[in-house]
Amino acid sequence: MREPTELEKKQYQRLQEIFTVARSRYLKAGGDPKRAGGILNGQDCLTTEEKQEIIKLGKQVFPVGRTEIKV
């Protein structure tokens, strides 16, 4: 397995920042700290721009063609 590049490290760090902000908003809105907030359970705390940025960064950091799936 190779080491991530500086750009990949920065992109991954940005993903973590966005998820941290979303978690903070979820908790401030009265979310249960023992549960995950998110779109799957109807408690999404991201802006449209943040969602788009997550998708873009996710595709760059975790490209499907480069990901190995072990069964």
pLDDT of residue 64: 74
Q: Which residue has the higher pLDDT, 41 or 62?
A: 62
pLDDT in tens, 6-55: 999 999 999 999 999 999 998 998 888 888 777 666 677 888 899 899 98
Query: CA 68, CA 46: separation in Å to the nearest integer?
Result: 29
By C-alpha distance, which of 42, 11, 7, 14 is closest to 26? 42
Structure pTM? 0.76
